[in-house]
Amino acid sequence: MSSGMDRADLAPLIDHTVLGPTTTQTAVDRVVDDAIDAGMNVCIPPCYVDCVTDDAPDSLTVATVIGFPHGQAAPAVKREAATAAVAAGADELDVVCNVGRLKAGEQAAVVDELAAITAAVAVPVKVIIETGLLTHEEKHRACEAAVDADAAMVKTSTGFADAEQSGATVADVELLADYLPVKASGGIGDYETAMAMLEAGADRIGASSGLAILDGALS
């Protein structure tokens, strides 16, 4: 990858994202249009999924988030939100794990919550572990929980954590990639950073700067 990637090869690896608290339907529509034109996927708030999937082409992969951004909803609430999102047309779910329970050593509770979600839906589940809030040992346990819960991928970050390093890092991607396919997310704003994550082992990039990332790719 060090010699560069073609735009057409890179685009399907990007989840073009809009998840901020002030996100409007207009903002979602703009992200969706850009993703369709460029060949990217989208990651959008759950409240807009049905509005998008009613009109979007089948070729567009629509991801949404569950328990975002803190992962602290009750397990049954997160499970219900997951099934509702899939019923609305979501193709993939990015689920925030309960970081507090993970840090408290409640491994079984973390696994059980995630496993209930993966069992309830027939779409890929990416587990967001919020690397910036975890110790090295906790990152390993978070990945182990994702594996034990039959998740499809593990995702570095929400991008909203109150942490000195709230986004993806090369070191974290390398660690996570030993367990599951990785979605690197948070702080990836240009082609060079995205390529560094892919070279470290990431399989997917989550970014609000999808178009800027593609601008650096080979045409």
194's enclosing H/E stretch is helix 191-200
Exposure string of 106-129, with b = 16+ CB inside 10 Å and e = fewer, is eeeebbebbbebbeebebbbbbbb
State the Cα–Cα distance between residues 2 and 104, nearest whole angstrom: 40
DSSP assignment of 2-16 equals TT--BHHHHGGGEEE
| CA gap 178, 201 in Å, rounded | 9
Residue 155 appears among annotated catalytic residues: yes
Decide if 139 is catalytic.
Answer: no
CB atoms < 10 A from the CB of 208, how many? 18
**In angstroms, rounded to a whole number, what is the distance separating the alpha carbons of residues 19 and 5?**
27
* Location of structure tokens 């986004």: 167
Give the amino acid at 126.
Answer: K
Catalytic pick among 78, 126, 139, 183: 183
Is 183 tagged catalytic?
A: yes
Catalytic residue among 15, 91, 155, 172: 155
Looking at this protein, which amino acid is placed at residue 101?
Answer: R
From the candidates 94, 126, 139, 172, which is the catalytic residue?
Answer: 94
Active-site residue list = 94, 155, 183
